[in-house]
Homo-oligomer: A and B are copies of this chain.
């Protein structure tokens, strides 16, 4: 894949995450530059639903822009740069405030997969609380110091919840990041409802997580969802009203 294809897929991914309501007006998807692993692509600061290829900017892994062209970048680009730096295997990242997972993010509930398609999130999804290391802030990840703290929480895993904020999900590619964010959210919804029922949840065993996670990380599985989602999203003919 070359940079043009990567940018094109990134624009599509922005529209898809908006269509799936994984993001509201806030949140972002990024992709590492396939031609240069020290760079990543990210839209300028606007709602993902509206992103076009003219909005795409390039950053180094300190989240310094290559050339802003007079556009304004997302202040939370550090979420992405720091993870790309610490995780050479990660090629795409989705940061979102998916509404349905927020009750877990505000109760600091550690997630474990209860649904087989959600096994991609790994055995456990920790909660990162910016206040632990940084005290009172405006809660945005706006520096490399903060981004590195969050990246440490993600560690070698798939995701982290961000207390009072949302989540960050990493992917081996753009489809993986979006697929994983989608099923992270669904897993959260299931946990929230099951806990409200007052019933014990049977989580996937470690073996099930590994085996099901591996299967649902394959293009065969993720591609089925990607084809479905792309066909539902108005990509080619999108125009601002």
Contact = CB atoms under 8 A, between A and B. Distances in A.
A233 B214 CA distance: 34
B202 A163 contact: yes
Given A139-B211, A231-B240, A199 B117 contact: no
A207 to B, nearest CB: 3
Nearest to A228: B47
A234 B231 CA distance: 13
B211 A109 contact: no
On chain A, which size bracket covers the interface?
35 or more
A71 interface: no
A49 B228 contact: yes
A26 B198 CA distance: 28
How many identical subunits does the complex contain?
Answer: 4
B97 A117 contact: yes
Given A106-B202, A138-B212, 8 more contacts: A45-B220, A46-B227, A102-B115, A106-B201, A107-B199, A116-B140, A137-B212, A139-B212
B199 A102 contact: no
Contacts of A189: 99
Contact of A202 (B97, B129, B225): B129
A106 B116 contact: no
Contact of A97 (B115, B198, B205, B232): B115
A109 B240 contact: no
A206 to B, nearest CB: 8
User: Which of A103, A119, A136, A227 counts the most B-chain CB atoms under 10 A from its CB?
Assistant: A103
28 contacts: A24-B225, A25-B224, A25-B229, A45-B220, A46-B228, A47-B228, A49-B228, A72-B220, A99-B189, A103-B193, A103-B197, A106-B201, A107-B194, A107-B199, A107-B200, A107-B202, A109-B199, A137-B208, A138-B214, A138-B215, A140-B215, A164-B208, A192-B193, A193-B196, A195-B196, A196-B198, A233-B241, A236-B241
Contact of A139 (B26, B204, B227, B233): B204
Contacts of A24: 225, 228
